[in-house]
Structure 1
Amino acid sequence: MKKIKKIYLFILLFFLISGITYIILINLKCRVIIKNNVFIGIKSGIIEKKEDLKMVEVPDGVNEIGVFAFADCVSLERVTLSDDIKEIEMGAFYHCQNLKDIKLPEKLEIIRNDAFSNCKSLTDVKLPSGVKIIEKGTFAECTSLENLQLSNNTTEIEEIAFNNCLSLKSVYLPDSIKAIGSSAFYNCSSLSTVRMSEGIESVGENVFGGTKAFKNSIADEYGSIYFGKVLLYNKGLNDTVRVKDSTKVIANAVFINNSGLREIELPEGIVEIGDNCFENCKALKKIDIKEGLKKIGENSFARAGVEEVKLPESITEIGYGAFNNCKDLSDINLSSGIERIAGYSFENTKYLNNIKPDEYGCKYVDNILLSSENNGSSIIHIKAGTRVIGAQAFENRKDIEEVYIPKSVETIDFKAFFLCSNLKKVDFEDGIKLKEINYFTFVGCSKIENIDLPDSLKAIYAYSFGDCSFTKIKIPENVEYLDSYAIRECYSLKEIELPEILRGEYHWIETDGIKTPKLVFY
């Protein structure tokens, strides 16, 4: 009997030692973690650490590199990516400071912000045709990057995308590029040749600051520096400036704080006046903007001395605070084609102050509802024929309980009913052609228990609804885009009814303290 017990004990001890040995052996080296075809990351082993890896091959079938998947793999020199990869997530290769060689697969469509930031040894980048947007900081601090090849499908380069790429000598911006964000190529100190996109429509501040190309540029007689059809910078020494005829874009902050600027002559064909462009230009009294202009950026004329502004019929968008605190502004024409007027565009101007509110406190210019003031009206009837409800038009109006929106309304802009905490009823007239519910439109409308959204809707953006009291909401059948964050902190919500087209496209994001509503598709 004792002999049998010893045998059993020996067998048990053998399996125990074998198990421990197996666990140790499989954990000696690094392990790749892949879940649902996403490369999540690398787990260090007992002996081999991820910081010591020099080469990694991502297996076939993986279609996404996860957030910070290779971050701080400081010895990594080469990565072979699967041909199936479509997305590289935020910071995926952040601080892989020895990474020299990586070929981006042709199926790649999305590279998230900071994906290759601080890859100091990376020398060559060729972007596949599917990547349309280079996000914020994607290749920032890649100090050895010498060769950059953008595809003819690239449409936007976001802010600081290539900031501090010290070895980059030339860049060819294809005509497909429409927007370049602030400081996108800032302090690329070796950059001496820039070919600007012919299709450019928007350029941020300091895009090429600190580059040889900018430092070696010769200003014209008015102190202006141009890259292609972009007015990039002005020295601020002239009281009169004539912008050259071929100009399409005035970059952000070109004339900011130019207290001596009295007169600006703009040609036809300019499509955008950038953010903060004429901010604090106290001596500038009048501006005549020719046909072709589509957008005036944020705070473009904030606190300027303008008294009269002539806008063309071509303009479609006026940015946040565009003319705020232009205290002497009394005359401006708003075109019938305007699609968006952001908040505080005319705050503290004679122009806005001189508009008489209607019986509901609403201030209109033709078919545009610019703003409103609290006059104690609990029921608001927006007048028939109104086409645009401006951003923040009813923000924080705690007197409103009901609002009736006519079928003529095509745009309800950002934060239009933000923090209308006593708003209970929103009535959209039958036949309305409203296409979108914008960001923060009904956030803080805590008394809304029911809302019937119009069938015309195509898109509902992030934080359209927040802290509302409805238990159920039906998304109209024509909605093609519903942001995962469109409905947030609605604590009573139990059910969302969704059109079949959104199955697999919409996903509820879990939030602490909020029960996940039932998703019902029809």
Structure 2
Amino acid sequence: MTLIYLLVGIAVVHALFLLYPVYRDEALDVYLWTPWTEEKYALFRKVTGNNKQVRIRLLINWILWPFLIIFILVMPVVFLFKLQGILKEYDGEVTYSKDGKALLNVAENLRRVKVKKGVEVIASFAFDSTQVTHIKMPNTVKILEPYALLRAHYLESVNLPDSIITIGKYAFQYCGGLGKGLKRIVLPKYLHHLNENAFFGCDGLKKLKIRGDFMWKASWQNDNPFYYTKSLVEIKNTNPNFKVENGMLMSVDGKILFRCVNEGKRVAVKDGVEIIAQGAFGGRDRMEEVILPNSLRMICVYAFSGCKLIDNVVLPEGVEYIGIESFSFCPNLKTITLPTSLKTIVCGAFDHSDHLQNFVYPKGMEDEFKKMVDDAKYDLPF
């Protein structure tokens, strides 16, 4: 804007100079439109009648005329950018909506961001693939849209003010995996909606405090917000719709197990659990044995994926379903005992568990179960 004001000022001064009555009639054409010759220079001197005045005005002419040209050329461009800026406002390397209520985009190389007060929405992909390490949000922010902090690999700290009521799906996907890492998350006190896979792939996340009154969704079984948080070792909870027992985050009725952070070598799942959600045990590197309850009915996608030390799994009677890659990438897994209640093993359930050769089938149902297992060994088409 400073440049615009300067150019406007120059143009005004120039116009007044050209309208100076001493020479405006005869000299105007010479001054504006034609090259300087000795004859025209003499004419200009004759019109003005003052050598010093001529020198001063010639100097002003050569200085101001290029600026006038620049002004004429630049102003249409500036005007066009102004029109495009109706929906955007720039604050350094951060882009906000014109009304200041949404943060739209952050420059890739920006490290620290203090979000302006008044912002209510962090837009989808606002921090996508940036190098930001620290984010400070005001207590006016209400919504983190889907993918808002997607691939903010270098993120180390972010405050989530209590004003936030919605965190969109994949909002923190792959955050904090590089650098010092995002170690701790405290969910907002009044959070009402936590959507699918919100913290998917936050590898460095160690501590999670769950607050708010949001309710789990049926879609969480296969799109768990806490899936693939393999470094998570502590979960605290004040949300009335959940409970944490023995290092396990469950629905308050104890029927769905969402995440296990128990670091013991032998882990027993509490009786009453019917569903083990997506990735609930994923990446539990220290677990060597898991005891499953008779209440269990469903093992969802990636439930035990990446459990490197577990070598034997006994599925209790009552289990009916084993999801995609439930026991994938378990390099030491050698034996699985299958119950008569089992009805479905989804394709790829045992992918990349190369030492799994021993399946214990129910007596009298060996052929049927062997076919079910063989069908499930086919690689997934992606």
Which of 66, 72, 77 is the equivalent residue of 1:19?
66
Map 1:330-341 to 2 at 5 A. Answer: 330=359, 333=369
Residue 318 of structure 1 pairs with residue 333 of structure 2: no
d(CA) in 2 for partners of 1:20, 1:227:
70
Which of 275, 288, 297 is the equivalent residue of 1:268?
297
d(CA) in 1 for partners of 2:204, 2:210:
9
Alpha-carbon offset, residue 231 of structure 1? 3.6
Name the amino acid aligned to 1:299: S
Q: Secondary structure at the match of 1:19?
A: helix
Alpha-carbon offset, residue 281 of structure 1? 0.6
Which of 117, 130, 134 is the equivalent residue of 1:100?
117
d(CA) in 2 for partners of 1:188, 1:23:
58
Deviations along 1:162-190, one digit per CA (max 9) or x if unpaired, are 9555684453335x636641339946776
Q: 1:324 to 1:254 in 2, by over 3 A?
A: closer
Alpha-carbon offset, residue 123 of structure 1? 3.0
Where does residue 330 of structure 2 map in the other structure?
301
Matched-pair contact (CA < 8 Å) for 1:255–1:279: yes
Alpha-carbon offset, residue 240 of structure 1? 4.7
d(CA) in 1 for partners of 2:346, 2:39:
93
Pick 1 or 2: higher relative contact order, CA cutoff 8 A, min separation 6. Answer: 2
Residue 136 of structure 1 pairs with residue 150 of structure 2: yes
Residue 149 of structure 1 pairs with residue 168 of structure 2: no
Q: Secondary structure at the match of 2:66?
A: helix
d(CA) in 2 for partners of 1:16, 1:274:
74
d(CA) in 2 for partners of 1:307, 1:165:
36
d(CA) in 2 for partners of 1:188, 1:274:
20
Name the amino acid aligned to 2:136: K
d(CA) in 2 for partners of 1:11, 1:334:
99
d(CA) in 1 for partners of 2:79, 2:209:
38
TM-score of the aligned structures, taking structure 1 as reference length: 0.43
d(CA) in 2 for partners of 1:59, 1:316:
51
Name the amino acid aligned to 1:19: P
Matched-pair contact (CA < 8 Å) for 2:276–2:298: yes
Deviations along 1:188-242, one digit per CA (max 9) or x if unpaired, are 776545645222123314487556439x97524xx64435533412342546545
Identity %: 7
Q: 1:111 to 1:318 in 2, by over 3 A?
A: farther
d(CA) in 2 for partners of 1:81, 1:274:
45
Residue 182 of structure 1 pairs with residue 211 of structure 2: no
Name the amino acid aligned to 1:244: G
Name the amino acid aligned to 1:245: V
Map 1:72-111 to 2 at 5 A. Answer: 72=93, 80-81=98-99, 88=104, 95-97=112-114, 99-104=116-121, 111=126
Q: Secondary structure at the match of 2:164?
A: strand
Q: Secondary structure at the match of 2:335?
A: coil
Deviations along 1:89-145, one digit per CA (max 9) or x if unpaired, are 57578633253332339xx766562578733143343238xx555552569533363
Q: 1:238 to 1:147 in 2, by over 3 A?
A: same
TM-score of the aligned structures, taking structure 2 as reference length: 0.55
Matched-pair contact (CA < 8 Å) for 2:150–2:173: yes
d(CA) in 1 for partners of 2:80, 2:236:
44
Matched-pair contact (CA < 8 Å) for 1:126–1:149: yes
d(CA) in 2 for partners of 1:143, 1:118:
9
| More strand, by proportion | 1
d(CA) in 1 for partners of 2:197, 2:187:
25
Where does residue 494 of structure 1 map in the other structure?
none
Which of 118, 128, 142 is the equivalent residue of 1:113?
128
| More helix, by proportion | 2
Where does residue 281 of structure 1 map in the other structure?
310
Matched-pair contact (CA < 8 Å) for 2:235–2:244: no
Alpha-carbon offset, residue 14 of structure 1? 1.2
Q: 1:109 to 1:160 in 2, by over 3 A?
A: closer
d(CA) in 2 for partners of 1:275, 1:35:
54
Residue 247 of structure 1 pairs with residue 275 of structure 2: yes
Residue 173 of structure 1 pairs with residue 193 of structure 2: yes
Structural RMSD (CA): 5.3
Map 1:107-506 to 2 at 5 A. Answer: 111=126, 113=128, 118-127=134-143, 131-136=145-150, 141-143=157-159, 145-150=161-166, 154-159=168-173, 163=182, 164=184, 168-169=188-189, 171-174=191-194, 177=196, 180-183=199-202, 186=205, 192-193=211-212, 195-199=214-218, 200-201=220-221, 202-203=223-224, 204-206=227-229, 212-213=236-237, 219-220=245-246, 224-226=248-250, 228=252, 229-233=256-260, 234-236=262-264, 238=266, 240-242=268-270, 244-249=272-277, 251-253=280-282, 255-259=284-288, 261=289, 263-265=291-293, 267-274=296-303, 276=305, 278-282=307-311, 284-287=312-315, 290-297=319-326, 299=328, 301-309=330-338, 312-318=342-348, 322-330=351-359, 333=369, 365=374, 370=378, 390-391=379-380, 413-414=381-382
Q: 1:80 to 1:329 in 2, by over 3 A?
A: farther
Residue 5 of structure 1 pairs with residue 25 of structure 2: no
Q: 1:301 to 1:242 in 2, by over 3 A?
A: farther
Matched-pair contact (CA < 8 Å) for 2:173–2:201: yes
The answer for unaligned runs of 5 or more in structure 2 is 1-36, 46-54, 177-181, 362-368
Q: Secondary structure at the match of 1:119?
A: strand
d(CA) in 1 for partners of 2:204, 2:192:
12
